[in-house]
């Protein structure tokens, strides 16, 4: 998240009409709102095969044959993947990157927006580009791209050729993890789920070493133990220790540096979350088949979810853990074990204040969007709403919503709504 201190927290309401865009353009695609809420933008079609981006009613100076993947970036700007003359590049509010590719995709940005990465293909070779700086070496294929907070990039690359249906070559291992374009000299049958450490210097990832053996590798060396399966590993914050869910003896366990870490064997254990502040570790787990809960430091929440827990997030201070899940056909949240009373059709990404006192989230119910703050639904429905921002002092919420063809940037005072 960008520094929200500089945002305008004092103007109650700013409006931008968007309905008329529909008359100005052949079609208008999904809207995206800048982080500071000042700008709403959409990819628009001007005429056959002519696209641009409309920001608060003003179009970019450049037009493109194709455009997709519009994303807000810091300073109220937007980036999109654009193409002209069959060449693709990134355009930042109308200013293209220098490098051109045959295709680009998988837009990623680090937390403060100083680094932007994409996967690229040029002349049927694959790599990544970070801030307009492509990898020196390109590969036959690329998957599982990641960007570290420090701007390092990594991905699974295919380092040697494989003929069609050549399962013998596959068996030898043709995939490697490449960091900033340089493949680590260790191949595997498969590599998944690359994680960077805080420094962005080390990588950990899940590997398959033969048909039925899985392990975790850190940089170029896999753990000695092989498992029945593994999920995404994580580095402990500011540390080179790695934790990972591994399946052994038919059960999922949390391991740390190749040693059992949590004691409890689970039916399922995945999606780790770590609080850098408190060092607490949480995971989505299942103790009984078909029933889900959250475990924090190996202690399960007193909550049983029958469908899916999609995500868990800690507040910056680690005091609050929020889970987004679907139970009995409805989406809702739980904050520190306590289930909210929502019964939503969709729940978007929650927003948690640094001290954990405020949790707010956008939901959709019967086609209308609502803002929910601390389990309290604000009754005004909107046609569209995107992730809100909580003010640095946790007293206000910046709501970004569209109603009746008008985009509204509203500052809601928490003492009024709660």
Partner 1 sequence: MNAFIAFIMGPMVWIAFLIFILGLIFKLVVIIKDVNARESYVYSYLSVKYSLRSIFAWLIPFFPQSTRQSPVFYAISYIFHLLLFIVPVFLMSHIVLVNEAFQLSWFALDDTLADILTVIVVLALVFFAVRRQTVPEVKYLTSFNDYVLLIIVALPFITGFLAYHQFFFYRQMVIAHVISGELVLILIPFSKFSHMVMAPLTRAYMGSEFGNVRHAKDW
Partner 2 sequence: MPKETTTEDVPIVKQKNTDEAVEAGLARLTPERIKTTINQVLENETGPKFKAYVETCMHCGLCAEACLYFLSNDRDPSYSPAGKVKQTIWEMLEKKGDVSTDFLRRAVHIAHTECNVCKRCSMYCPFGIDIAYLMLMVRRICHKLEITPLYIQDTVNSHSATMNQMWVKEDEWIDTLQWQEEDAREEFENLRIPLDKVGADIMYSVIAPEPKFQAGLIYQAATIMHAAGIDWTMPSSPGWDNSNMAMFTGDNEISGRIARAFYETAARLKVKRIVMGECGHAFRSIYDVGNRWVGWAMPPFEVVHAIEFYHQLLTSGRITIADKYKKTVTLHDPCNVSRGRGLHDMAREVTNMVCDSFIEMTPNREHNYCCGAGGGVINCGPPYKGERMINNRVKAEQLKATGAEVLIAPCHNCHSGLEDIVHHYDLNMEVKFLGDIIFETMEKKIFNPGD
- Rounded distance between C-alpha atoms, residue 173 and residue 37, angstroms: 47
Q: How distant, in Å, are the alpha carbons of 33, 121, 324, 345, 412 from that of 279?
A: 33, 39, 21, 34, 33
Q: How far apart are the first and last CA of the chain?
A: 25
| Binding flag, residue 86, partner 2 (CB under 8 A) | no
- Rounded distance between C-alpha atoms, residue 387 and residue 401, angstroms: 9
Minimum CB distance to partner 2, residue 308 (Å): 3
- Rounded distance between C-alpha atoms, residue 43 and residue 52, angstroms: 6
| Binding flag, residue 288, partner 1 (CB under 8 A) | yes
Binding residue count for partner 2, defined by CB under 8 A: 56
Residue 208-247 contact track with partner 2, rule CB under 8 A, x = bound: x--xx-x-------------xx-----------------x
**39-68 binders of partner 2 (CB under 8 A):** 45, 66, 68
Cβ contacts of 409-413, under 8 Å, gap ≥ 24: 409/11, 409/13, 409/14, 409/15, 409/16, 409/37, 409/38, 410/12, 410/13, 411/8, 411/9, 411/10, 411/11, 411/12, 411/13, 412/371, 412/373, 412/378
User: Phi then psi for 24, rounded to 5 degrees?
Assistant: -80, -30
Nearer to partner 1, 288 or 349 (CB): 288
Stretch that binds partner 1, among 164-172, 197-205, 282-290, 309-317 (CB under 8 A): 282-290
- Rounded distance between C-alpha atoms, residue 100 and residue 86, angstroms: 10
Nearest to 119 by CA among 87, 145, 140, 147: 145
| Binding flag, residue 108, partner 2 (CB under 8 A) | no
| Binding flag, residue 405, partner 1 (CB under 8 A) | no
Nearer to partner 1, 247 or 400 (CB): 247
| Binding flag, residue 328, partner 1 (CB under 8 A) | no
Nearer to partner 2, 145 or 414 (CB): 145
Binding residue count for partner 1, defined by CB under 8 A: 3
Minimum CB distance to partner 2, residue 260 (Å): 20
Could you give the angle at the alpha carbon of 253 between the alpha carbons of 251 and 256, nearest 5°?
Answer: 155
Alpha helix stretches (DSSP H) within 119-250: 167-172
Among 347, 358, 390, 411, binds partner 2 (CB under 8 A): 347
Among 59, 84, 110, 190, binds partner 2 (CB under 8 A): 190
| Binding flag, residue 308, partner 1 (CB under 8 A) | no
Q: Given the rule CB under 8 A, which residues bind partner 2?
A: 26-27, 29-30, 45, 66, 68-69, 102-103, 105-106, 119, 121, 126, 141-143, 156, 164-168, 170-171, 175, 189-190, 192, 208, 211-212, 214, 228-229, 247, 250, 267-268, 270, 286, 289-290, 292, 306-308, 310-311, 326, 345-348, 364
């Amino acid at each position: 998240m960008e520094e929200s201190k500089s945002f305008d927290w004092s103007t109650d309401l700013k409006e931008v009409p968007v309905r008329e865009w529909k008359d100005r353009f052949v079609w208008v695609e999904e809207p995206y709102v800048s982080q500071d809420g000042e700008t709403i933008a959409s990819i628009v079609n001007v005429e056959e095969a002519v696209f641009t981006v409309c920001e608060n009613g003003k179009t970019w100076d450049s037009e493109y044959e194709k455009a997709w993947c519009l994303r807000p970036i810091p300073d109220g700007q937007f980036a999109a993947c654009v193409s002209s003359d069959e060449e693709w590049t990134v355009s930042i509010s109308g200013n293209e990157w220098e490098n051109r590719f045959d295709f680009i995709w998988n837009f990623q940005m680090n937390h403060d927006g100083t680094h932007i990465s994409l996967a690229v293909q040029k002349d049927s070779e694959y790599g990544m580009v970070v801030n307009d700086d492509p990898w020196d070496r390109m590969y036959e294929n690329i998957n599982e791209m990641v960007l570290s907070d420090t701007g390092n990039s990594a991905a699974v690359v295919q380092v040697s050729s494989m003929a069609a249906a050549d399962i013998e070559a596959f068996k030898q291992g043709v995939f490697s993890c490449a960091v900033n374009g340089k493949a680590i000299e260790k191949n595997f049958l498969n590599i998944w789920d690359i994680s960077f450490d805080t420094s962005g210097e080390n990588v950990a990832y899940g590997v398959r070493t033969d048909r039925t053996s899985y392990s975790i590798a850190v940089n170029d060396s896999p753990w000695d133990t092989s498992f029945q399966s593994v999920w995404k590993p994580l580095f402990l914050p500011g540390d080179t220790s790695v934790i990972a869910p591994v399946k052994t003896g038919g059960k999922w366990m949390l391991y740390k540096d190749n040693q059992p870490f949590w004691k409890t064997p689970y039916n399922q254990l995945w999606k780790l979350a770590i609080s850098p502040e408190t060092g607490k570790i949480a995971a989505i787990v299942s103790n009984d088949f078909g029933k889900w809960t959250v475990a924090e430091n190996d202690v399960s929440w007193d909550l049983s979810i029958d469908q899916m827990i999609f995500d868990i997030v800690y507040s910056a201070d680690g005091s609050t853990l929020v889970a987004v899940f679907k139970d009995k056909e409805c989406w809702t949240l739980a904050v520190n074990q306590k289930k909210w009373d929502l019964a939503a059709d969709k729940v978007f990404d929650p927003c948690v204040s640094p001290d954990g006192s405020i949790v707010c989230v956008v939901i959709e119910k019967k086609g209308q969007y609502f803002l929910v703050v601390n389990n309290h639904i604000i009754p005004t429905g909107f046609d569209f709403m995107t992730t809100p921002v909580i003010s640095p002092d946790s007293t206000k919420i910046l709501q970004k919503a569209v109603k009746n063809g008008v985009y509204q940037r509203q500052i809601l005072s928490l003492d009024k709504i709660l």
